[in-house]
Structure 1
Amino acid sequence: MMRDTFATKSGGKLASEMHYSSGSSSEGALHHGDESVNRDEEEMARLGKRQELRRNFGFMSMLGFSCTLMITWEGLLTVFVYGLTDGGPAGLVYGYLFCWLGYFTVVASLAEMVSMAPTAGGQYHWTFLFAPKSCRNFLSFITGWQSVLSWQACLASAAYLGGTIIQGLLVLNYPTYNFQRWHGTLLLYSVILLAMLFNTYLAKQLPTVEGAVLIVHIVGFFGVLITLVYLAPHGNAHDVFVLYLNNGGYDKGTSFFVGLITTVFAFIGADGAIHMSEEIKNASTVVPQSLMASIGLNGTMGFSMLIAILFCIGDIDNALSSSTGFPFIEIFHQAVKSTGGATAMSAIVLSLMIFATIAVLAAASRMMWAFARDNGLPGSRFISRVEPRTKLPLYSIAVSVIITLLLGLINIGSSAAFNAVASLVVSGYLGSYTLPMLLLLYKKLFHPASIHYGPWTLGRRLGIFCNVFGLVWIAIVMTFSFFPSVRTDLTPQTMNWSCLLWGGTMLIGVGSYFGHLRGRYNGPIVETDIMDQVRGV
């Protein structure tokens, strides 16, 4: 359904001039005729937005959604090779702790902001609220552009990892299997189409599914961990907590920071619950709680799995050179000394990667829908439609799936080219967090009275600490995410193209803002009929 009103700012206040959220906002109720509007719709109205999507997620289903979207312990295994190459076991251990703390402060900052303004747009909406009038439209657009691109890249990456893990298991079980890139693309297609099925036809069951997957996420963790620790030969503490490797050719310090990409990727998608805000009951409290609970739970399981697999890694060279393409499959095989056992353990990781793709598609499509709702994308009037019967953004779901299908074709020609596109994940996500955190910090330091906190807040001192530490951490991680994992004998296949891709997409975004979208994107649209409700008209 096309939104009934594409209201201009002239009919109501700008979003940043509104009382965008207050801890007391839930105490009253707005009335439209004889109908009472609940707390979530009231908070949406204060932001000038109409409730269009069905709210069917609660705390447990959203906790499951957040945990299975990040899949920290599973994701850590899939990109294990980068940390082993640069940093080695000790680099992975201390790098994990550094990144866990960094992500915790970033997520805490995001949780505080989503409590103020729980909308699917998230970062770009907050940027508009906090930025000066002179530049808020542009800063908001750049933030939203990065967020949309990063989620689309993450969707393609998740589907790709699911498909290639299946290929790795084929190599393990059938030594004569002839590994072909186009096979991986077809398997990628099967994963993304399954995700589309769950996000459309089975969408009503998605909250129940996510709650059930949370159980699999936890039970599967213990199944893999206990089997690994019990059956695998154990190394010594020196090889885990002291042994550094710099096989990438960097010095010891640089190698440590380049290897952080493993842990950074393992926590990717931490803001997923934010973009589902308009489908969550009591979003201003449930979303922050689910964000914090997921980073704590996933962080604990991820660190436990990291320590276990480092003690049980066996021959590191064999793991790094595994014909399956995934060191964790070889580590499982060395541990249980059985192809069937290694396949069963890897199947747990694979199933959770597929469910992660389902969750990523949900978050990516909502982010695209929200930005299109505010005229931030070409074809916004089409992408922002909501199907009236299901109350789902089916058009943004379809566009997201089509983008992934097209990106999958790149893998047929060159896996390096596909990985270059996927490398937008880290820089896009971290870039989208930076501006709202920086602007909120500025307000906390110089204009604290202008901030209207939501029901969930960090407090002034802890909030400032989280903002500062998070921003410093983002600057460090984002810088080293542009480094190639191997310094010596660089080739087009081993070069890290993420800096070029990120810079290029930013230039395209700026060109679109001053070109095709000139005068069309003016920040989050305030719908005048909703504003009339807020003012009691």
Structure 2
Amino acid sequence: MSTETPGQYRKTTTASSHAKGEHYVEGSPGPASADADVLLGVLGYQAELARSRSTWQVAFMSFVLASVPYGLSLTLYYPLIGGGPVSIIWGWLAVGMIMTCVAISLGEITSVFPAAGGVYYQTFMVSPPRYRTVAAWICGWANTMGVITITLSVNFGSAQFFVACINIFGEDGNPVWPAETYEVFLLFLAITFLCNTISSLGNRWLPILDTFAVFWTFTGLAAIIICSLALAKNGRNSAKYVFTEFQTNSGWIPGWSFFIGLLHGAYVTSATGMIIAMCEEVKQPAIQVPKAMVLTVILNVACGLLFLIPLVFVLPPIEDVVAQSSPVPYILRMAIGNQGGAFAVTIPLLVLALLCGTACTTAASRTVWSFARDGAIPGSRWWRKINRRLEVPFNAMMFSMVIQCVLGIIVFGSTAAFNAFSGVGVIFLTISYTTPIFVSLVTGRRTLKRAHYNLGPVGVACNIIAICWCLLITPIYCMPSYLPTTADTMNYASVVFIGGVTVSAIWYFVWGRHSYRGPPVGVEEANVRRDSLVEAK
């Protein structure tokens, strides 16, 4: 592990590559790993992680981070109360189109600055010198807290979803496992430990696991579609109902209620930019990661429609569905008409829950590690170490896991804990994604002149849409989703959000404003180094 202090340039170990003339040239094929490591040196870092992922493998991991059928199952409550079928189908499609714009915007910037620091590093590099360190600090903390809390929400949601699937075997609303709060919490801890174990001990096999997850997803999706539509014990709704029925059950006015329904898609697609944290384990990150982000969002949208449309065709009365602890197991039970059969088709979703938790754990550990190596987190000297035997930032992974477990204790104070975790995760991630996009746009997108992907006017339009999305979704996720609001149904995302902001602000005034200098190389120096490499080629 490098012992240089933050702000110093870390020399890369690619001297042999230089001697052979294997320099990085934008757009050139070249020896993938050598070129990527040289570029990483240009950006100021030493290559410490093995580049073991191809374009398809990084795309598969990006797909697993969203785990669309599982993610949509966790949050189907929002569009059910927000607008019914219209909100479920058209709301998902609208969010998918918006997140495609976000992915395109991030992809353009990532093709210039493909580092594990992701949006944090990118914000520093695209910002004017005067505001660089503050902007990077804000974005870095938002991104770090976002990946930790979204991973927490995935694993906590898995615990709740598992209980709901077991209770498919209940009769007349009487659950077979009326899980107490402490039981849900213990199940959450077990799932969290399992995901961390798989991510840390099985790192070299994770690309294979991600590939398996893609085929597993579509196999399970086929089983759900065929069984629910073919049996449809509760009858089938008309196409007019599926695509045009709009009914609100949230207590809000119709327009705002529809926006509440968008939280469904916002949660599932919030992982879009998390794949950037894997840039230093990808063979050609400047090319592969942007492709993976955009293509995966498009695939997720299609996969989501394949999942949601059949569910709405067999949807029971909405007032009955929203009364359940988890909508999807109830919908499947009513459609299939058999407890064992309904539970069987939830098994693919349960497996996806663990795969999604493992992928989120992996991305979160890289995010914490990359932020810590620039000294921005208390105790950074521990969290920035790489475990050479496991080839993972093990300390950063354990740090992230401990924070998740501590935050999970919130469940003992509120049954709406999942809403708080998922809400604050989406808020933080959305803000972190938007920060480099906004700064790049207001500074004339000047750094994109060196980009592999620069879509010009189309890119500008995508930037504007991404910024508007942040301005819309942030206040929505802070508002209660249902009126009238009680202590149990209150949205506590804003409370957790304020807590996270307070921690980062205190650390900034205690240490950051005097010692933090950002990534170890500025944009001007990086450009000079990049140009010298191109000329040498």
Do Structure 1 and Structure 2 share a fold, with TM-score over 0.5? yes
Question: 1:163 offset after TM fit, Å?
Answer: 1.2
Change (3 A) 1:79 1:37: closer
Partner residue, 1:293: 295
Contact kept? 1:120, 1:278, Cα under 8 Å: yes
Question: 1:197 offset after TM fit, Å?
Answer: 1.6
Look up the SS of the partner of 1:245 in the other structure.
coil
Q: How many residue pairs were aligned?
A: 513
Contact kept? 1:25, 1:42, Cα under 8 Å: no
Q: Could you tell me how far apart the structure 2 residues matched to 1:393 and 1:483 are? A: 36
For 1:318-467, list aligned pairs within 5 A: 318-322=320-324, 325-417=325-417, 419-444=419-444, 448=446, 450-455=447-452, 457-467=453-463
Look up the SS of the partner of 2:129 in the other structure.
coil
Question: 1:202 offset after TM fit, Å?
Answer: 1.3
Question: 1:444 offset after TM fit, Å?
Answer: 3.2
What is the CA deviation profile of residues 470-506 of structure 1, one whole-angstrom value per residue up to 9, with x for unaligned ones?
Answer: 2112211222222211122x21211112233323422
Q: Normalised by the size of structure 2, how large is the TM-score?
A: 0.90
Partner residue, 1:498: 493
Contact kept? 1:26, 1:42, Cα under 8 Å: no
Counterpart pick for 1:86 among 82, 86, 90: 82
Change (3 A) 1:463 1:499: same
Question: 1:11 offset after TM fit, Å?
Answer: 9.8
What is the CA deviation profile of residues 291-346 of structure 1, one whole-angstrom value per residue up to 9, with x for unaligned ones?
Answer: 11211111101022222111111232222122xx1111010001110111110111
Counterpart pick for 2:134 among 133, 138, 144: 138
Partner residue, 2:273: 271
Question: 1:56 offset after TM fit, Å?
Answer: 0.9
Q: Which moved more, 1:508-517 or 1:348-357?
A: 508-517
What is the CA deviation profile of residues 88-118 of structure 1, one whole-angstrom value per residue up to 9, with x for unaligned ones?
Answer: 1112222112211110000111111111111
Q: Could you tell me how far apart the structure 1 residues matched to 2:162 and 2:6 are? A: 48
Contact kept? 1:164, 1:184, Cα under 8 Å: yes
Partner residue, 1:18: none
Whether 2:106 is the aligned partner of 1:110: answer yes
Q: Could you tell me how far apart the structure 1 residues matched to 2:134 and 2:506 are? A: 12
Counterpart AA for 1:379? G
Change (3 A) 1:242 1:514: same
Contact kept? 2:9, 2:521, Cα under 8 Å: no
Partner residue, 1:224: 224
Q: Could you tell me how far apart the structure 1 residues matched to 2:29 and 2:286 are? A: 15
Q: Could you tell me how far apart the structure 2 residues matched to 1:11 and 1:205 are? A: 29
What is the CA deviation profile of residues 214-242 of structure 1, one whole-angstrom value per residue up to 9, with x for unaligned ones?
Answer: 11112212221222222222101332222
Contact kept? 1:41, 1:51, Cα under 8 Å: yes
Whether 2:258 is the aligned partner of 1:252: answer no
For 1:44-55, list aligned pairs within 5 A: 44-55=40-51
Question: 1:508 offset after TM fit, Å?
Answer: 2.8
Q: Could you tell me how far apart the structure 2 residues matched to 1:498 and 1:78 are? A: 17
Contact kept? 2:224, 2:345, Cα under 8 Å: yes
Stretches of structure 2 lacking an aligned partner (at least 5 in a row): 12-22
Look up the SS of the partner of 1:414 in the other structure.
coil
Partner residue, 2:14: none
Q: Could you tell me how far apart the structure 1 residues matched to 2:257 and 2:176 are? A: 36
Change (3 A) 1:342 1:423: same
Q: Could you tell me how far apart the structure 2 residues matched to 1:93 and 1:170 are? A: 27
Stretches of structure 1 lacking an aligned partner (at least 5 in a row): 13-21, 31-35
Look up the SS of the partner of 2:375 in the other structure.
coil
Q: Could you tell me how far apart the structure 1 residues matched to 2:291 and 2:219 are? A: 22
Change (3 A) 1:28 1:320: closer
Contact kept? 1:366, 1:393, Cα under 8 Å: yes
For 1:509-528, list aligned pairs within 5 A: 509-526=504-521
**Runs of 4+ with >4 A deviation:** 9-12, 26-30, 530-537
Counterpart pick for 1:97 among 77, 93, 99: 93
Q: Could you tell me how far apart the structure 1 residues matched to 2:138 and 2:383 are? A: 19
Change (3 A) 1:518 1:360: same
Q: Normalised by the size of structure 1, how large is the TM-score?
A: 0.90
Change (3 A) 1:42 1:321: same
Question: 1:417 offset after TM fit, Å?
Answer: 4.3
Q: Could you tell me how far apart the structure 1 residues matched to 2:462 and 2:254 are? A: 28
Contact kept? 1:368, 1:396, Cα under 8 Å: yes
Contact kept? 1:444, 1:451, Cα under 8 Å: no
Q: Could you tell me how far apart the structure 1 residues matched to 2:418 and 2:326 are? A: 17
Q: Which moved more, 1:407-416 or 1:387-396?
A: 407-416
Q: Which moved more, 1:352-361 or 1:228-237?
A: 228-237
Contact kept? 2:49, 2:281, Cα under 8 Å: yes
Question: 1:66 offset after TM fit, Å?
Answer: 0.8
Look up the SS of the partner of 1:238 in the other structure.
helix
Partner residue, 1:148: 144
Look up the SS of the partner of 1:246 in the other structure.
coil
Q: Could you tell me how far apart the structure 1 residues matched to 2:214 and 2:158 are? A: 18
Look up the SS of the partner of 1:519 in the other structure.
helix
Q: Which moved more, 1:44-53 or 1:210-219?
A: 210-219
Counterpart pick for 2:264 among 251, 262, 265: 262
Whether 2:308 is the aligned partner of 1:315: answer no
Q: Which moved more, 1:211-220 or 1:508-517?
A: 508-517
Contact kept? 2:270, 2:430, Cα under 8 Å: no
Contact kept? 2:9, 2:45, Cα under 8 Å: no
Question: 1:513 offset after TM fit, Å?
Answer: 1.1
Contact kept? 2:66, 2:271, Cα under 8 Å: yes
Counterpart AA for 2:67? I
Q: Could you tell me how far apart the structure 2 residues matched to 1:10 and 1:289 are? A: 29
